[in-house]
């Protein structure tokens, strides 16, 4: 049995490590630039940068781990750093999201640790190279139990349905750089672990059909949740869950074409999803909110911002000739080549998910960017509030002066002044904040 920490670099782990380091560098530059634009020389607070680097160290350790226990250590480093980053500022929404995130992550880690103990008890090792040989010698029932425990633990971390309910409520509350690196990297570590489990440890394909059903449910339920949202960050969070299904789809095919498509889509999704969450932070900075009901005219106010959103959004929807189209086409061709009825159902589900993704992204574009500012509800006026409340409370149905009985001995109040809705005021230099979450918490004076 090899002693010490085993780190292994092959083409898959090297690819994931390079992509993760590149994305992390881009997010870090964004965070520094955002803080400099806000006038903070020490941007944003002192704990962010070291915690961010610890997070990236955990990601790198997970990608290079050569044994299950070292992979567990990488996950725990991720958990510790991500909890700190998720709760920066200590607001009620972030603390609530952080509690949900930490409970789900701890349950996943406990299940993973229990699986490691059972694997070691059955085989006498946790080294993945040795496990690839010794696990095949175990009874089928024991193999199925160990594989199920590992897949459940990794599926929680990868946000595979029905173990994905925690993600849309946790990610949107964090600052833009934190949400971007979470969406781009953390769930992909779980997908990477599933790839290792299905290809190296348990290549027999005993649970491939279960993974196919999970992939179909993840794609469809995730994108239906995105269509129902009006906040850009929540829309992106649900599309994140939905497109994890594409990766699980490719893994479940257990073919060379399926795995190639899944790995390509993982790399594509890391870059695109990270970019979109960073752009969402810029949208909040420009418009004061990430709710599409409160935005409008961003394409006119900031054409560069519109381009930065449009290109990756179309890429996410799978519009040719972008990388999203190439990845989805490869996965759909692999599903058709499989020939089974369930892969064909997954192909249809993948196509429907791509169309619904285009619908959700198009709604964001038409309402937040393409719509004129005058058409966006900028303020809560009396007329707007009454119209939203329904016909019973509209100004026309309100009782007039002749219908109201004034108590004796009391002076009538002056007539209310009607205020017409005005377009949203242009943000001041430095980024005026609206109803959205603050970008960075301000340290309290001592």
pLDDT tens readout for residues 162-219: 888 888 888 877 788 888 888 888 889 999 999 998 888 888 777 888 999 999 999 9
How far apart CA 275 and CA 440 sit, in angstroms, is 19
The residue among 30, 37, 284 whose CA lies nearest residue 177 is 30
How far apart CA 1 and CA 132 sit, in angstroms, is 14
Which one is predicted more confidently, 245 or 294? 245
Give residue for tokens 């990430």.
290
Average per-residue pLDDT in the chain?
80
Predicted local distance difference test score (pLDDT) of residue 388: 38
Q: What angle do CA 23, 25, 27 make, to 5 degrees?
A: 70
How far apart CA 441 and CA 421 sit, in angstroms, is 32
Residue 355 reports pLDDT greater than 90? yes
Predicted local distance difference test score (pLDDT) of residue 3: 61
| Contact by Cβ (8 Å): 232, 278 | no
> DSSP 3-state assignment of 276?
helix
Predicted local distance difference test score (pLDDT) of residue 269: 93
| Contact by Cβ (8 Å): 317, 358 | yes
Predicted local distance difference test score (pLDDT) of residue 251: 92
Residue 325 reports pLDDT greater than 60? yes
Predicted local distance difference test score (pLDDT) of residue 394: 41
Tell me the domain boundaries of the chain: 1-204, 207-377
Helices (H), 124-231: 128-134, 140-158, 167-170, 176-181, 187-196, 208-227
Residue 393 phi/psi, 5-degree rounding, is -115, 15
Through-space distance between the first and last CA atoms of the chain, rounded to whole angstroms:
54
Using only C-alpha atoms, what is the Rg of the chain?
Answer: 25
pLDDT digits (tens, 9 = 90+) for 248-275: 999 998 889 999 999 999 999 999 999 9
Predicted local distance difference test score (pLDDT) of residue 372: 74
> DSSP 3-state assignment of 376?
coil
Confidence of residue 22 (pLDDT cuts 50, 70, 90): very high
How far apart CA 381 and CA 113 sit, in angstroms, is 56
Alpha-carbon dihedral sign for residues 343, 349, 351, 354: negative
Predicted local distance difference test score (pLDDT) of residue 92: 79
How far apart CA 47 and CA 274 sit, in angstroms, is 22
Percent of the chain with pLDDT over 70: 80
Residue 382 reports pLDDT greater than 50? no
What mean pLDDT is predicted for residues 290-317?
86
The size of the chain, in residues, is: 446
Predicted local distance difference test score (pLDDT) of residue 5: 78
- With b for 16 or more beta-carbon neighbours within 10 A and e for fewer, the 390-424 pattern comes to eeeeeeeeeeeeeeeeeeeeeeeeeeeeeeeeeeb
Neighbours of 442 (CB within 10 A): 11
Residue 247 reports pLDDT greater than 90? yes
What mean pLDDT is predicted for residues 10-18?
92
Confidence of residue 373 (pLDDT cuts 50, 70, 90): low
Most confident of 281-285, 376-380, 397-401: 281-285
> Following CA atoms 160, 161, 163, 166 in sequence, which dihedral angle do they give, to the nearest 10 degrees?
90
Confidence of residue 329 (pLDDT cuts 50, 70, 90): very high
Distance of CA 41 to the CA centre of its chain: 29
What mean pLDDT is predicted for residues 314-327?
90
How far apart CA 7 and CA 4 sit, in angstroms, is 10
Predicted local distance difference test score (pLDDT) of residue 406: 43
Predicted local distance difference test score (pLDDT) of residue 249: 92
How far apart CA 239 and CA 184 sit, in angstroms, is 12
Quick one: tokens of 188? 């992909």
Confidence of residue 41 (pLDDT cuts 50, 70, 90): very low
Residue 56 phi/psi, 5-degree rounding, is -65, -35
| Contact by Cβ (8 Å): 100, 169 | yes
Confidence of residue 35 (pLDDT cuts 50, 70, 90): low
pLDDT digits (tens, 9 = 90+) for 71-115: 999 999 988 888 888 887 777 778 888 888 888 888 999 999 999
- CB under 8 Å to 291, separation ≥6 — which residues? 230, 231, 232, 435, 436
CA contacts within 13 A on the Cβ side of 99: 6
């Amino acid at each position: 049995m090899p002693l010490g920490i085993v780190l292994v670099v092959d083409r898959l782990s090297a690819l994931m490590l390079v992509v993760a380091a590149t994305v992390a560098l881009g997010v870090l530059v964004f965070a520094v630039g955002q803080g400099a634009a806000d006038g903070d020389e020490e941007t944003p607070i002192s704990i962010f940068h070291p915690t961010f680097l610890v997070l990236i160290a955990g990601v790198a350790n997970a990608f290079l781990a050569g044994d299950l226990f070292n992979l567990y250590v990488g996950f725990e480093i991720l958990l510790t750093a991500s909890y700190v980053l998720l709760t920066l500022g200590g607001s009620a929404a972030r603390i609530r999201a952080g509690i949900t995130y930490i409970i789900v992550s701890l349950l996943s880690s406990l299940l993973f640790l229990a699986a490691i103990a059972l694997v070691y008890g059955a085989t006498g090792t946790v080294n993945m190279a040795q496990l690839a040989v010794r696990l095949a010698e175990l009874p089928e029932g024991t193999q199925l139990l160990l594989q199920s425990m590992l897949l459940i633990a990794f599926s929680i971390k990868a946000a595979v349905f029905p173990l994905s309910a925690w993600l849309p409520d946790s990610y949107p509350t964090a600052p833009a750089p934190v949400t971007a690196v979470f969406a781009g990297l953390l769930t992909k570590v779980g997908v990477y672990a599933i790839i290792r489990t299905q290809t190296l440890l348990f290549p027999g394909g005993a649970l491939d059909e279960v993974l196919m059903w999970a992939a179909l449910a993840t794609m469809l339920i995730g994108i239906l949740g995105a269509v129902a949202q009006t906040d850009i960050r929540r829309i992106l969070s649900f599309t994140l869950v939905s497109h994890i299904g594409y990766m699980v789809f490719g893994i479940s095919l257990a073919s060379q074409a399926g795995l190639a498509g899944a790995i390509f889509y993982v790399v594509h999704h890391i870059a695109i999803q990270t970019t979109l969450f960073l752009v969402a932070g810029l949208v909040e900075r420009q418009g004061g909110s990430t709710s599409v009901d409160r935005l409008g005219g961003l394409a006119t106010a900031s054409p560069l911002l519109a381009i930065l959103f449009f290109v990756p959004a179309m890429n996410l929807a799978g519009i040719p000739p972008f990388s999203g189209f190439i990845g989805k086409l490869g996965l759909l061709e692999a599903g058709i080549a499989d020939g089974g009825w369930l892969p064909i159902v997954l192909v249809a589900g993948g196509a429907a998910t791509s169309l619904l993704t285009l619908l959700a992204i198009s709604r964001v574009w038409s309402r937040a960017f393409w719509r004129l500012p005058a058409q966006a509800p900028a303020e809560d006026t009396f007329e707007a509030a009454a119209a939203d409340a329904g016909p019973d409370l509209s100004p026309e149905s309100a009782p007039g002066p002749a219908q109201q009985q004034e108590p004796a001995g009391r002076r009538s109040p002056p007539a209310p002044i009607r205020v017409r809705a005005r377009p949203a005021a242009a943000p001041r230099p430095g980024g005026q904040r609206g109803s959205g979450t603050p970008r960075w918490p301000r340290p309290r004076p001592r």
